Amino acid sequence: MGNSMTNDAPLPLSGLRVIEFTHMVMGPSAGVILGDLGADVIKVEPVEGDHTRRLVGSGAGYFPMYNRNKRSIALNLKDPKGLSVARKLIAGADIMIENFRPGAVDRLGLGYDTVQADNPGLIYCSAKGFLDGPYAHRTALDEVAQMMGGLAYMTGPPGRPLRAGSSVIDVMGGMFGVIGILAALEERHRTGRGQCVTSSLFESTVFLVGQHMAQYAVTGKAANPMPVRISAWAIYDVFETSDEDAVFVGVVSDSQWVKFCDLFGLADYAGDDSLATNAARVARRDEIIPRVRALFKSFTKTALMEKLEHSGLPFAPIAKPQDMFDDPHLGASGGLVDVSLPNGGGTQGKTSLPALPLAMDGRRCTVRHDLRASGQDSRDILKSLGLSQAECDALIDDGIVVQYDE
C-alpha cells in the first residue's frame, strides 16, 4: 500500500493560499487538485451556499467529488462590505480561481485588472468556455464543448454524436488550469510578478481530438468515429465470455502477438510468417477476429482474466463506476479516500471517492479537510484577516457573511 501524504510532512503546495470563486466542475476540479497537494483553499460561496450542493440526478456527485480539502466562507458579494472581505482575501492570496460566465467577476469588481493592483504577485486563473476569439462571449458546458470540438462525433456511432460518459472536458479544463497556475508560480519565482491564466473547455476538447486531426493530415482521410474506426491492431476489442460477460483484450506489438499465440496454443498463427507484422495482421483482421472470438467464448470471464493476468498482454474487465468502491487495487494502493456526504449542514455517512491519481515520492494525497458545510469556516477565515470579534459578529448578524454552526 502506498503511503499517504499527511500533516506529518509538508505537502508540495503547503504555504500557498487559494481563493476559489467557483461552482459545478471545471473550477472546483482545479481547486481540489491544489487542495489535495497541500494548498490552503478557501471556497467563497454565496450566502445560500453553492447551488452545486443541491443538484440532483447526474449532478448529485459533483460537490462531494470536487470540494474536499477546502475551507468554506459564505459571503454576499453584492454588498460592499462583503465585497471588501473578498478583496481582503484576494489581497493576501497566492492564487485565485473563478469559473463564472464572461464578465461576471468584472461586474462584481473582482476582475484581474482590479485585484492585481492590490496583489501584483497574484496568479489569477479564469476557467472559461473559450479562450479569446469570436466564441469568447458564448456560454459553454462540457457537453457543448464535446459537441463542437469533435469529441462527441468521434465517440458515438456515425450519425449519433455521443458525449463521453463523464465530465472529461470540465476536469481536463481544470487540470490545464492547474498546469498554467504551476507554470505561473515558477515564473513568479523569477520575476516576482503574477499573471492571469485562462483555461478553456473548447480548446481542451480540440487538444484531445488533435490525434485525429493529425491522422487526417498524415493520411488525407478523415478519422472515423471510434465505434467504426479501422483499428490500428488486429486484436483490440471487447470479447464475450461463456458466462455472458465480457473482457477487453489488446495485442499491440509483434512481440505481444508471439506471446498471445503461445498463451492460447495458436501454433499455426505463430508459425505463419505472413502474420509476423502488425500491418499484415490488420489486413487480415476479418479472418483473425472470428477465431479469437470463438476462442475467448470458451472461457468464463474469471478464467480468461486469470490466464491473462501475468501475461503482459493488455486486458480489462468491463466495469461500472460503482465497482470501483470495491476494487482491490484501489483499496490496497490508497486510491480511494474517505469523505463525509453532506446533508444540509450535517452528514449522512461516509463514502470513499477517488484520490488524486498520482504519487509523489511514493506518497498518495489524502483528506485534510472533509467536505464542509457552506460557511462552516466563515468566522475563522474572517479572524485570519485581522477582523475583531465584534466586526465578525456584525458581518454575520447583518447576513453579509453566513457562519454555519452545528
Active site residues: 170
Paired with 347 in beta bridges are 342
Q: Output Rg (C-alpha) for the chain, integer angstroms.
A: 25
Q: What span, in angstroms and rounded, lies between the C-alpha atoms of 80 and 292?
A: 70
Pinpoint the alpha helices (H) of 237-386: 254-263, 267-270, 278-283, 285-296, 301-308, 328-333, 378-384
Sign of the dihedral through C-alpha 138, 143, 147, 151: positive
The answer to whether 199 touches 171, Cβ cutoff 8 Å, is no
Q: What is the C-alpha separation between 356 and 29, in angstroms, rounded?
A: 10
Q: Which residues of 184-197 are buried (b: 16+ CB within 10 A; e: fewer)?
A: bbeebeeeeebbbb
Q: DSSP code of 14? A: T
Measured over the CA atoms of residue 379, residue 383, residue 389 and residue 392, the dihedral's sign is: negative
Distance of alpha carbon 42 from alpha carbon 70, whole angstroms = 6
Tally Cβ neighbours within 10 Å of residue 209: 17
DSSP string, 126-194: EEESS-SSTTTTS---HHHHHHHTTHHHHHSPTT-----SS-HHHHHHHHHHHHHHHHHHHHHHHHS--
